[in-house]
Amino acid sequence: MLVKLVVGSLFLFLIQMVLKTVYYMGFHLHYNEHYPGKCENIDGIGIGSEDFYTFTDGLTFITSGLALQNEPAHKQEYMVKHNIVGRIYLFDFNKNKAKVEELSIVGSNGGFNVKLFYPHGISGWLDESGKKILFVVNHDEHGVDFIEKFEFIPEKKQLKHVKRYRDDTMLLVNDVQATSKDSFYFTNSATDRIQPWWFVMFCRLAWNTVVYCDGSNYKIVLDDLFVANGIAMSNDGRYVYIANIMNQEIVVAERKSNNDLVKKQLFPVYTYPDNIIVDMKTDNLYIGAHPFIYKINQAVEYPDHHSPSQVLLLYVKDGNIKKTRELFYNDGDLITGSSVAIVFNSKLLIGSVLHKTVLCDVNVPL
């Protein structure tokens, strides 16, 4: 009798978990395509624009060539066929043409090798002398994650490698947020590189963290996150926003004087948020998102597959998210797997994990 009770309970538990997983994957959902204005693919960039950072002058730095260690053979072949390697592009919102240019990368401080450069998240900082500093997540080919620091040399259209950061708290790093020219937060989206997404989804393992680095010391400042993804900071530095992707929510955390983070708000977005960009005038948030988690995971593993793209605008007041609005939705033909977005000068720039980059006119009031 006891054995039957235990077996029956386990069976019911598994059924519950399967149904919950199917629900979260969104098989029942439907969306309608819409744009804020005319949209077009950007020239000069190949496949992939996973994250970008825009300075107040409109110069935008775009990471391309995201890859992890031990990618399956068919994906490696795809990357070779399409010449997908680690690059950083420059886009200028002040120019009329939808075009980018690739930046040359020089320097090898700390053992950095541009041939082993697989960039992911990116953040920028304008130092006291006016120099543009970039921090970039790098998934080194040998299975170790770093955060690389660059200085932009505008007259040469060049990025000079300055320093690389490495610590045991860097597990599978996703995104980075600069807090000064020497310090930053970063998110870990997994505890290692071999966790299959379906296992994480099914078991709902909230094991991920946000870490703070003051330039030399590292400390975990937030934990219990369910696949921590993008991270951004309010313009006044008081709040930090984290995309808790598998919980379909944005975590609003208050930043303390010692740089610890305390959860202030959990805002549901009912989609899978990727990277976050803070509007430099309003403090509102732009989110690149994935409506169907199973489709984006298929597209990441098999880049020929299409996955819908979605952009959200989250309205913020006094550090709290008040409401959300969908700015863009595409079934995946124009752009697959939207990972990041920003509106600047009435233009919407949208990046993707391993697909095209899109620029749209914004003809709707925000």
How many Cα atoms within 13 Å fall on the side-chain side of residue 174? 28
Q: Is 326 labelled as part of a ligand binding site?
A: no
Q: Is 94 labelled as part of a ligand binding site?
A: no
Q: Is 214 labelled as part of a ligand binding site?
A: no
CB atoms within 10 A of CB 173: 23
| AA letter at 164 | R
Q: Is 174 labelled as part of a ligand binding site?
A: yes
Do β-strands 100-102 and 338-344 pair in parallel, antiparallel, or remain unpaired?
Answer: unpaired
Q: Is 297 labelled as part of a ligand binding site?
A: no
Yes or no: say if 353 and 229 are a contact pair by the CB < 8 Å rule.
no
Yes or no: say if 296 and 337 are a contact pair by the CB < 8 Å rule.
yes
Q: Is 223 labelled as part of a ligand binding site?
A: no
Q: Is 279 labelled as part of a ligand binding site?
A: no
Known active-site residue 355: no
Yes or no: say if 355 and 304 are a contact pair by the CB < 8 Å rule.
no
Q: How far apart are CA 360 and CA 366, in angstroms?
A: 14
CB atoms within 10 A of CB 88: 22
Which segments within 245-334 are labelled E, that is strand?
249-255, 261-268, 272-278, 285-290, 309-317, 320-330
Q: Is 260 labelled as part of a ligand binding site?
A: no
From the list 28, 30, 120, 161, the catalytic residue is 120
Active site residues per annotation:
120
Q: Which residues are annotated as a binding site?
A: 50-51, 122, 174-175, 229, 274-275
Residues at the binding site for Ca(2+) are 50-51, 122, 174-175, 229, 274-275
